[in-house]
Amino acid sequence: GKVRAPTHIISTISDDRGEEPTYAGVAMSSIVEQGLGVGDVLSLLWFKRSLPHYCTRFIEICVMLCADHGPCVSGAHNTIVTARAGKDLVSSLVSGLLTIGPRFGGAIDDAARYFKDAYERGLAPYEFVEIMKKKGIRVPGIGHRIKRGDNRDKRVELLQQYARSNFPSVKYMEYAVEVEAYTLSKANNLVLNVDGAIGSLFLDLLAGSGMFTKQEIDEIVEIGYLNGLFVLARSVGLIGHTFDQKRLKQPLYRHPWEDVLYTK
Ligand code: ACO
Ligand code: LMR
């Protein structure tokens, strides 16, 4: 019979060998003809399946709402400083992207992990928060530098509104909202942030769509797909900040001495 040489790479998401490239088996012409969008393409390349429209629309809303948050946040600041140092687009972009992590934009996966685990163990929201406190771990998805109980994050409200009207179930989101109610009773800055909103709502999307087995959901959460949403979204804004600085011909950035506490 046929002897096949062993390959060095295995790939399962796309194929460019035929007449036209396919994403998870779907031809590009079909994607265009059906009028599909970025959310559909993301579903094919990340989840290897077509998701219902309300899911792909949710993904697109996440991308739109997280695309930028002004020049002062960690990522944009790094990108602006790098662009002003005369670096190219890719360097300026990745300089900003490198700030995405547990404090800034990259708490989505941990929020999903901790909310899922706490919900499945049947922990009351206050028990969950107190256990985290005892362990000395900040609750991922909770807290914001400038948002407050009396000045909520509009992005969180918009995502919640969309899910309430379109998702079959929002049980993880409701759990996160109960966690927020408890943390807000402790301090006014401990709001559910956009990472926590996306983390909990994506659990609802995965579980409620009927498109994923329990094992697949566990794997998605364990591998950590969801920070990818913020990385993807914020790239749009960071690229914009790079062009903005170049367009404005901004000089090399130097931080003012007055804004540094020089001390021993
Ligand atoms: N869980 C428990 N306690 C918290 C949390 C949290 N998530 N966040 C802040 N606190 C507490 C702190 O322990 C601190 O209490 P203390 O003074 O008694 O020690 C108090 O609230 C104030 O904390 P600060 O460090 O001043 O808060 P800061 O504004 O610097 O932090 C941050 C904001 C980084 C977002 C923080 O809330 C946090 O680490 N949250 C978890 C990670 C997260 O969700 N990040 C995503 C943010 S959204 C985004 O980036 C798009
Ligand atoms: C963001 O999306 O960049 C923000 O939530 C972070 C911030 O500090 O405002």
Pocket test for ligand 2, best of 64, 191, 194 (most atoms within 8 A of CB): 194
- Inform me whether the pLDDT recorded for 4 exceeds 90: no
**CA-derived radius of gyration, the chain:** 21
| ipTM here | 0.96
Residue recorded with tokens 């697949």: 216
- Inform me whether the pLDDT recorded for 2 exceeds 80: no
Distance from Cα 73 to the centre of ligand 2, integer Å: 6
- Inform me whether the pLDDT recorded for 1 exceeds 80: no
> Model confidence at 137, in pLDDT bands (50, 70, 90)?
very high
Pocket test for ligand 2, best of 66, 68, 103, 145 (most atoms within 8 A of CB): 145
Tell me: the pLDDT tens digits for 12-28?
999 999 999 999 999 99
Distance from Cα 117 to the centre of ligand 1, integer Å: 21
Tell me: the pLDDT tens digits for 230-255?
999 999 999 999 999 999 999 999 99
Instruction: For residue 35, count CB atoms less than 10 angstroms from its CB and return exposed for 0-12, middle for 13-18, buried for 19 or more.
Output: exposed
Residue ranges lining ligand 1, Cβ < 6 Å: 102-105, 107, 138-145, 187, 189-190, 193-196
- Structure pTM? 0.96
